[in-house]
């Protein structure tokens, strides 16, 4: 159970959600029949060591709801180990509303404290009201704080609004769903107008998250950004939590130097995202490899999954090297086994 009530969700978020939230993709055993507890715990320990505020338990892989909830329980247990206080974020990304309600109730029981609200691939709204109804139904089904997520992946921009979820609809949802406590402001990406608009209109009410590090480091020098959640920040090791501290301390020259130092790796990462993602989905195999380069578990994913090949792996590792990082130099075959094979 959360430590706050639905009506306290925004106050809780303002107080506790300060920093960066990475992503934890489930690890599986070598035969792909079960989740790999040792690999999962390894990733949570390293996320804590890297200074992350919290982690998203990714559900956009081939995993059943019971397996996913067991995954979240392991994440919660390891998050609490040694007096830790890592925020566990549930990924509400299942095939339909019924499954998402089942999963969010289970996630609450498993110890999640926050929900990233996604929209199913089969959800084809043709009006703002349909988006409102889906969102409010899911928010009403949980006591947890919710992250509202305007995003191009949902396909709303051509039918609903170029900003994906327009400000007038966000206004209705904030008025009617008191547990919406965060806006992950990627509306209209790659335009920055979505985060600027959300900060201007809603920043006094809810936490505005800037998840894209290439926007976070510049914009954080102009507007206060307390949260970067959720993203593949594990690609950078402990760098994003460090950058968030520099921004809070007003050390903008250091942030700028860091931004430019990261630029070769950023360009390599963004180029592959465009090449492999095609703008229609997130390549979780790619993200898992990015984390492996910084010491995270890696390991096999079940079919169907996207692929990553040696040229892409070389490009990511070279980008980090060119930016002065020290990524893993282990043979690439080790990624497909994982650091904790089971």
Q: Between 284-293 and 310-322, two packed helices, what is the crossing angle to 10 degrees?
A: 40
In this predicted model, what pLDDT tens digit does every residue of 279-335 receive, in sequence order?
Answer: 567 899 999 999 999 999 999 999 999 899 999 999 999 999 999 999 999 999 999
**Cβ-proximal residues to 331 (8 Å cutoff; 6+ apart), any chain:** none
The pLDDT profile of the chain, 342 residues, written as one tens digit per residue, is 799 999 999 999 999 999 999 999 999 999 999 999 999 999 999 999 999 999 999 999 999 999 999 999 999 999 999 988 899 999 999 999 999 999 999 999 999 999 999 999 999 999 999 999 999 999 999 999 999 999 999 999 999 999 999 999 999 999 999 999 999 999 999 999 999 999 999 999 999 999 999 999 999 999 999 999 999 999 999 999 999 999 999 999 999 999 999 999 999 999 988 776 555 678 999 999 999 999 999 999 999 998 999 999 999 999 999 999 999 999 999 999 999 999
Task: Give the 3-state DSSP-derived string for the chain, with helices as H, strands as E and coil as C.
Answer: CCCCCHHHHHHHHHHHCCEEEEEECCCECCCCCCECHHHHHHHHHHHHHCCCCEEEECCCCCCCHHHHHHHHHHHHHHHHHHHCCCEEEEEECCCCHHHHHHHHHHHHHHCCCEEEECCCCCCCCCCHHHHHHHHHHHHHCCCCEEEECCCHHHCCCCCCCCCCCCHHHHHHHHHHCCCEEEEECCCCCCCCHHHHHHHHHHCCCCEEECCCHHHHHHHCCCCCCCEECCCCHHHHCCHHHHHHHHHHCCCHHHHHHHHHHCHHHHHHHHHHHHHHHCCCCCCHHHHHHHHHHCCCCCCCCCCCCCCCCHHHHHHHHHHHHHCCCCCCCCCCHHHHHCCCCC
pLDDT given at position 277: 58
Task: Report pLDDT for 84.
Answer: 87
CATH code, 6-251: 3.20.20.70
Q: What is the pTM of this model?
A: 0.97
Predicted pLDDT of residue 276: 66
Q: Where are the domains of the chain?
A: 6-251
pLDDT in the model for residue 90: 98
Q: What confidence tens digit (pLDDT) does each residue in 113-155 have? A: 999 999 999 999 999 999 999 999 999 999 999 999 999 999 9
């Amino acid at each position: 159970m959360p430590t706050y009530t639905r009506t306290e969700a925004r106050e809780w978020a303002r107080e506790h959600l300060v920093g960066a939230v990475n992503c934890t993709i489930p690890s599986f055993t070598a035969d792909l029949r079960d989740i790999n507890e040792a690999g999962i715990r390894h990733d949570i320990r390293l996320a804590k060591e890297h200074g992350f505020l919290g982690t998203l338990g990714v559900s956009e892989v081939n995993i059943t709801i019971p397996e996913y909830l067991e995954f979240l329980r392991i994440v919660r247990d390891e998050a609490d180990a040694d007096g830790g206080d890592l925020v566990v974020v549930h990924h509400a990304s299942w095939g339909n509303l019924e499954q998402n309600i089942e999963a969010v109730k289970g996630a609450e029981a498993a110890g999640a404290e926050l929900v990233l609200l996604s929209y199913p691939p089969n959800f084809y709204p043709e009006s703002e009201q349909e988006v409102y109804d889906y969102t409010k139904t899911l928010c009403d089904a949980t006591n947890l704080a919710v992250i509202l997520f305007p995003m191009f992946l949902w396909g709303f921009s051509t039918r609903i609004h170029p900003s994906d979820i327009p400000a007038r609809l966000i206004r209705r949802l904030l008025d009617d769903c008191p547990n919406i406590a965060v806006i992950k402001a990627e509306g209209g990406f790659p335009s920055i107008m979505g985060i600027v608009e959300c900060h201007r209109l809603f920043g006094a009410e809810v936490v505005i998250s800037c998840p894209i590090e290439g926007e976070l480091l510049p914009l954080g020098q102009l507007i206060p950004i307390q949260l970067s959640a959720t993203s593949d920040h594990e690609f950078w090791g402990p760098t994003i939590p460090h950058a968030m501290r520099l921004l809070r301390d007003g050390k903008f020259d250091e942030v700028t130097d860091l931004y430019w130092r990261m630029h070769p790796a950023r360009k390599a990462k963004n180029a592959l995202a465009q090449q492999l993602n095609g703008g229609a989905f997130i390549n979780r195999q790619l993200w898992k490899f990015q984390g492996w380069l910084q010491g995270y578990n890696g390991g096999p994913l079940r079919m169907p999954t996207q692929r990553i090949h040696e040229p892409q792996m070389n490009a990511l590792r070279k980008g980090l090297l060119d930016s002065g990082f020290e990524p893993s130099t282990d043979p690439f075959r080790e990624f497909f086994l994982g650091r904790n094979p089971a």
